[in-house]
Amino acid sequence: MGTLGELTERTVGTALVYGCPAFVNRVRNVGTPIWERDWDVLLVLDACRTDLMREVADEYDFVGRENVGTLWSVGSKSNEWMERTFAREHAADVERTAYVTSNPFTSKVRFGAEPAVLDEVWKYAWDDDVSTVPPRPVTDRAIDTWREGDADRMVVHYMQPHGPFLSRPDMGTYGDPADFGVGFSSLWGEAGRTIPMAEVWKAYRDNLRLVLDDVALLLANLDAERVAISADHGNAVGEWGVYGHPGDVLLPCIRRVPWVETTGTDTGEYDPETAREEENVEDLEERLRSLGYK
């Protein structure tokens, strides 16, 4: 049993992370809706921390460390972000916006307003080998949607840098608990203990580079004067004893997400390969579980 001081710190930390924030979020969300910013195309990188973005920013001309600002997100989990972004109060904006997404929560969340286009890429481009949707099918669908569609704006939701980490399949996936004997769902809790934090962070950073490489392709194949790159939420790596991104928390590492502004110019040199399809997804629960949402 810990000392009184340790117990007090733990209790205060728990209340700060899981108690008061949840109450605040229910009464009045403290985030800034994406609709309050100016953009034509918004690229959402799932679970991207601001400091992680700044680490790789100078490797990409369209980012640059000095251009990485921040936005206080409306949620700390993807479903919260979706519910509060595609809400009835934002109907005028939502209804003229296309939403191309690889996040399976679209089937679980009730939108208050319907996007002009809802392309659920995860329904037909899920890769069972890596238990997620790699960036390229999302890029393909975004290019085609913007070139061929007539929506005024577009939100493109990539799953990376959220795990599984594609450069380190040995770290496991959420869908296979045999990996590490604990499963990827608790990888963040194991970081720094059974799994060296430096290795986890490097794999997390690799996932960000992977998606930014595809963002470069996207920006070279769409015409948009105002493109923003942001995230639905970040990810805790031990702050206040928290790992991952639990719901209704106000930790800055989770809620203060990157905001980068750039432009896109369509060279016409790339033809998208992934066609939009629809299918019956009988294993939705498993796919959500594969991403650590169950």
Q: How many CB atoms lie within 10 A of CB 225?
A: 11
Residue 209 predicted with pLDDT over 90:
yes
Query: Average pLDDT of 178-204?
Result: 68
Residue 19 predicted with pLDDT over 60:
no
Residue 20 predicted with pLDDT over 60:
no
Alpha helices in the chain (DSSP H): 4-14, 20-27, 50-56, 78-85, 91-94, 122-125, 135-148, 187-190, 197-219, 252-255, 284-290
pLDDT band, residue 131 (cuts 50/70/90): confident
Q: What is the mean pLDDT of the chain?
A: 84
pLDDT at 241: 84
Query: Average pLDDT of 25-31?
Result: 64
pLDDT band, residue 130 (cuts 50/70/90): confident
What is the 8-class DSSP label of residue 138?
Answer: H
pLDDT at 9: 37
- Tell which wins on pLDDT, 282 or 90: 90
Sign of CA dihedral 273, 276, 277, 280: positive
Question: Is residue 123 a contact partner of residue 146, using CB atoms and an 8 Å limit?
Answer: no
Residue 282 predicted with pLDDT over 60:
no
pLDDT at 196: 85
pTM for the whole structure = 0.85
Alpha-carbon distance values, 117 to 58, 92, 101, 276 (Å): 34, 14, 11, 12
pLDDT at 258: 98
Residues of the chain with pLDDT > 70, as a percent, come to 78
Question: Is residue 72 a contact partner of residue 256, using CB atoms and an 8 Å limit?
Answer: yes
- Of the candidates 97, 105, 84, which has an alpha carbon nearest to the alpha carbon of residue 31? 84
- Tell which wins on pLDDT, 272 or 179: 272
* Domains of the chain and CATH, by start: 4-290 (3.40.720)
Q: Three-class SS of residue 229?
A: strand
What are the tens digits of pLDDT across the range 160-188?
999 889 998 877 665 433 333 334 445 67
What are the tens digits of pLDDT across the range 211-227?
999 999 999 999 999 99
Find how far residue 161's CA is from the centre of its chain: 7
Question: Is residue 266 a contact partner of residue 107, using CB atoms and an 8 Å limit?
Answer: no
134 preceded by a cis bond (ω within 30 of 0)? no
Residue 3 predicted with pLDDT over 60:
no
pLDDT at 129: 85
What are the tens digits of pLDDT across the range 41-56?
999 999 999 999 999 9
Residue 277 predicted with pLDDT over 90:
no
